[in-house]
């Protein structure tokens, strides 16, 4: 006869090994994927922008000089490629195109300035996965530095600067005087073998770096800055792109530092190109209105296999966000976020399915996003207002919910889940969980007046415990007295020992009229 207890131990061992091996595999892949930037090719041909009549006085418009230089360098694309050298100076220009097998090199104290004349930013067709401009129907202004259908493109230098001078665009946007969607600072479309490194990007009119329909993209050692009140100045937005590495970056903007996207509603669903295999490492930054790392809300083509680690966000609105909406469709799955430090962040983790903007009225309200297999662990925060905020969709499900969450917050309010029925009980790897945090519920929260809340975050053995003892099948358990609290803590600790994982329990007392505190 098979001993069920021994079988459960064997299953736990297998799951732990699989989870550990999966983490190792991702780590190895991240290392190899990001190292490619270290071996940038030396171009056999090089010219300076001054050879084509450019003047670096910050006043002379040099669009023609950039266009002519790149047209000339295109003749070397089959001869090992070429480098366009931009020396120290302030080089005013409108939008210009890159070519394959090109290195755009900005020397120290070189600044490429975006023109303040909207006519210098041509209008192009909307992206097929969006169906229209993000902000307005119709086309969109082309980015300052633009390229499409390219191979082997490097934008780098000795910490030179690309300044979009976006304040005029922000003012036009706020006054609602624009006819087309604002331009990005750098956009590469349907390209492969892209490296962006060792530069500073300032004041983008809209998103700063936007690789869309791209593969094998590396962004390393860049600084991205925009005023904290500048509208929608996202830092780096991989969009329907795969095999992207972002590391060693500092970003301070008015919106998301990094936002992973894949198209908008029915257009993204039909285009069906996901963002996948995204590596983010050693990211530092802050914002006022967005998130440190966001997925969505335009994620209709799907987002998967995202690995982010060693993140530091300070004095920001939100640290980690997954944002979706009814009509988005698509999926967000296999997300791994590890080793996060937060200081002065309003909301640490937010899952929000109520982002309502749609490209038009033809979206399918029954196209519901699938959220599954999300791992967020080793998060340490100080002065965090809200640990977590979960907003679901009526009738939809967070499949598998949050796996293996390990977060510790000091001076923090509790999790505020909404539509708890949307948290699925199905768990594929139940033993990944390393820390279970018990938070108090603040007086006045709907449906809970006193006591504490256990947000067990999908630890499978707890479900049987919950079903048998409290008869509540969800992962949120209300405990109205210290006897239940003590029993729950003891049970959780026992589960932790049996599952060979560490269970941490933290209890705060938030309600002024709650005098009974056993010390748990």
Instruction: Give the tens place of pLDDT for each residue, 72-91.
Output: 999 999 999 999 999 999 99
Digit-coded pLDDT (tens) for 375-432: 888 888 888 888 888 887 876 666 544 544 444 444 445 555 444 333 333 322 222 2
For the residues 306-314, what does the mean pLDDT come to? 97
Say which CATH architecture domain 43-255 belongs to. Answer: 3 Solenoid (2.160)
Tell me, letter by letter, the H, E, C secondary structure of 237-253.
CCECCEEEEEEEEEEEE
Q: Where are the alpha helices (DSSP H) in 205-288?
A: 265-271
Q: Which CATH architecture has domain 261-424?
A: 3 Solenoid (2.160)
Beta strand pairing call for 123-124 and 140-141: antiparallel
**What Å distances lie between residue 235 and 155, 207, 342, 370, 393, CA to CA?**
16, 6, 19, 26, 28
Helix axes 460-469, 482-498, angle to 10 degrees: 150
Query: Which pLDDT value is given to residue 225?
Result: 98
Active site residues: 255
List, for residues 149-177, the tens digit of each pLDDT value.
999 999 999 999 999 999 999 999 999 99
Q: What pLDDT does residue 40 have?
A: 59
**In sequence order, which ranges of 409-519 are alpha helices (DSSP H)?**
460-469, 482-498
Portion of the chain with pLDDT greater than 70, in percent: 68
Does the pLDDT at position 15 exceed 50?
Answer: no
**Strands, E, within 231-360: which ranges?**
242-253, 258-260, 275-287, 291-296, 303-314, 318-323, 331-343, 347-352
**What is the average pLDDT across 326-338?**
95
CA distance 341 to 151: 37
Do β-strands 275-287 and 110-114 pair in parallel, antiparallel, or remain unpaired? unpaired
Query: Between 22 and 63, where is the model more confident?
Result: 63
In terms of Cα–Cα distance, which of 30, 87, 84 is closest to 248?
A: 30
CB contact at 8 A, 510 and 441: yes
pLDDT in tens, 417-430: 444 333 333 322 22
**Cα 397 from Cα 499, distance rounded (Å):** 26
Mean pLDDT of 213-227: 98
Under 8 Å between Cβ of 489 and 473 = no
pLDDT at 34: 77
CA distance 58 to 54: 11
For position 381, what pLDDT does the model report? 85
**Contact partners, residue 31, CB within 8 Å, separation at least 6:** none
d(CA 179, CA 185): 18
Among 86, 284, 254, 249, which Cα is nearest to 167's?
254
CB 428 within 8 A of CB 22: no
Helix (H) or strand (E) holding 10: helix 4-35
What's the token pair of residue 361? Answer: 């009225």
DSSP structural state of residue 414: E
Closest CA to 474 of 404, 427, 439, 425: 425
Distance separating alpha carbons of residues 202 and 208, to the nearest angstrom: 8
- Residue boundaries of the structural domains of the chain: 1-39, 43-255, 261-424, 436-520
Residue 151 three-state SS: strand
Structural contact between residues 93 and 113, judged by C-beta atoms closer than 8 angstroms: yes
**C-alpha distances out from residue 130 to 69, 126, 237, 282, 300, Å:** 33, 7, 14, 31, 10
What is the pLDDT, as a whole number, of residue 438? 30
Q: Which pLDDT value is given to residue 373? A: 87
**Do the first three CATH levels of 43-255 and 261-424 match, i.e. the same topology?**
yes
The answer to whether 236 touches 209, Cβ cutoff 8 Å, is yes
Structure tokens given for 409 = 């917050």
pLDDT digits 0-9 by tens, 189-210: 999 999 999 999 999 999 999 9
Model pTM score: 0.78
């Amino acid at each position: 006869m098979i001993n069920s207890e021994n079988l459960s131990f064997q299953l736990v061992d297998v799951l732990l090994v699989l989870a550990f091996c999966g983490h190792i595999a991702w780590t190895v892949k991240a290392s190899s994927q990001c190292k490619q930037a270290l071996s940038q090719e030396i171009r056999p041909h090089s010219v300076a922008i001054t050879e084509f009549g450019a003047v670096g006085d910050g006043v002379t418009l040099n669009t023609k000089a950039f266009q002519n230089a790149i047209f000339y360098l295109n003749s070397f694309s089959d001869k090992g490629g070429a480098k366009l050298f931009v020396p120290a100076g302030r080089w005013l220009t409108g939008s210009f195109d890159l070519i394959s097998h090109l290195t755009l090199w900005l020397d120290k104290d070189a600044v490429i300035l975006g023109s303040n004349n909207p006519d210098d930013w041509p209008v192009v067709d909307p992206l097929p996965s969006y169906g229209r401009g993000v902000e307005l129907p119709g086309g969109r202004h082309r980015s300052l530095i633009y390229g499409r259908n390219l191979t082997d493109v490097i934008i780098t230098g000795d910490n030179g600067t690309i300044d979009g001078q976006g304040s005029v665009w922000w003012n036009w946007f706020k006054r609602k005087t624009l006819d087309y969607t604002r331009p990005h600072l750098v956009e590469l479309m349907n390209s492969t073998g892209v490296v962006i490194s060792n530069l500073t990007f300032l004041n983008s009119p809209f998103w700063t770096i936007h690789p869309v329909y791209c593969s094998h993209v590396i962004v390393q050692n860049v600084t991205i800055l925009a005023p904290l009140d500048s509208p929608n100045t996202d830092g780096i937005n991989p969009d329907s792109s795969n095999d992207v590495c972002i590391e060693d970056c500092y970003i301070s903007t008015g919106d998301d530092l990094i936002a992973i996207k894949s198209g908008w509603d029915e257009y993204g669903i039909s285009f069906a190109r996901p963002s996948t295999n995204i590596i983010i490492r050693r990211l530092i930054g802050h914002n006022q209105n967005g998130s440190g790392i966001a997925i969505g809300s335009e994620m209709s083509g799907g987002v998967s296999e995202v690995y982010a680690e060693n993140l530091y966000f300070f004095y920001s609105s939100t640290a980690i966000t997954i944002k979706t909406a009814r009509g988005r469709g698509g999926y967000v799955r296999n997300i791994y976020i590890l080793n996060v430090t937060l200081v002065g962040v309003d909301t640490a983790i937010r899952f929000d399915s109520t982002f309502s903007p749609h490209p038009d009225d033809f979206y399918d309200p029954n196209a519901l996003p699938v959220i599954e297999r999300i791992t967020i662990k080793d998060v340490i925060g100080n002065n965090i207002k809200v640990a977590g905020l979960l907003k679901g969709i009526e009738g939809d499900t967070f499949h598998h919910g949050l796996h293996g969450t390990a977060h510790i917050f000091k001076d923090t309010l509790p999790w505020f889940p909404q539509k708890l029925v949307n948290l699925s009980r199905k768990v594929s790897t139940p033993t990944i969980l390393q820390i279970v945090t018990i938070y108090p519920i603040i007086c006045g929260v709907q449906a809970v007046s006193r006591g504490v809340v256990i947000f067990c975050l999908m630890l499978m053995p707890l479900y049987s415990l919950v079903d048998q003892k409290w008869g509540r099948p969800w992962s949120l358990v209300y405990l109205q007295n210290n006897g239940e609290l003590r029993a729950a803590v003891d049970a959780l600790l026992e589960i932790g020992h049996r599952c060979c994982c560490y269970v941490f329990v933290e209890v705060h007392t938030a309600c002024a009229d709650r005098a009974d505190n056993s010390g748990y």
